[in-house]
């Protein structure tokens, strides 16, 4: 069965948080606010309330995101939904649905960007 892709275009609500696993694998997390904007004649107006998505990126892309993005950055992300579960310190079961991004980049709808090709690491 093929995975369903999700596409997001929105703004970061905070700077990406970069963490490394004990084995050294980089993981960046951040939230993206996606709001509907609808055309009303010649003007744009806000539509439905914003949705907030937790986004995760791994390895070199995680490092690139942490170095390139900041709170308020407009981004485009393509990935898949994944559910993660764990047991909290108080013993309760917790879970969250996240977007695991395969592709991530700045949105050029209202901004410009300059890119620099990264040197490919051996951990990719």
Given a contact cutoff of 8 angstroms between Cβ atoms, the answer to whether 13 and 33 are in contact is yes
Instruction: Count CB neighbours of 24 within 10 A.
Output: 8
Cross-strand partners of 97: 83
List Cβ neighbours of 118 (8 Å cut-off, separation of 6 or more).
60, 64
Q: State the pLDDT at residue 37.
A: 66
Q: How far apart are the two ends of the chain, measured CA to CA in Å?
A: 26
Burial of 104 by CB count in 10 Å (0-12 exposed, 13-18 middle, 19+ buried)? Answer: buried
Over the stretch 2-17, which tens digit does the pLDDT of each residue have? 677 899 999 999 999 9
Q: In this predicted model, what pLDDT tens digit does every residue of 71-114 receive, in sequence order?
A: 999 999 999 999 989 999 999 999 999 999 999 999 888 788 88
pTM of structure: 0.81
Instruction: Of 8, 29, 21, give the one whose Cα is nearest residue 75.
Output: 8
Q: Which of 18, 109, 10 is nearest to 60 (CA)?
A: 18
SS3 content of the chain, % helix, strand, coil (to 5): 10, 50, 40
Instruction: Give the pLDDT confidence score for residue 47 in this predicted structure.
Output: 64
């Amino acid at each position: 069965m093929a995975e369903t892709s999700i596409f997001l275009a929105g703004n970061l609500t905070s700077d990406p948080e970069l963490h490394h696993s004990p084995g050294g694998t980089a993981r960046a997390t951040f939230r993206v606010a996606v709001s509907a904007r609808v055309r009303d004649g010649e003007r744009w107006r806000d539509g439905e309330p914003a949705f907030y998505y937790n986004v995760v990126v791994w390895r070199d892309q995680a490092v690139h995101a942490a170095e390139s993005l900041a709170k308020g950055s407009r981004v485009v992300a393509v990935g898949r939904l994944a559910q993660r579960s764990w047991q909290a310190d108080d013993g309760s079961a917790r879970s969250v649905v996240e977007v695991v991004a395969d592709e991530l980049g700045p949105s050029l709808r209202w901004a410009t960007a300059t890119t620099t090709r990264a040197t490919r690491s051996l951990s990719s």
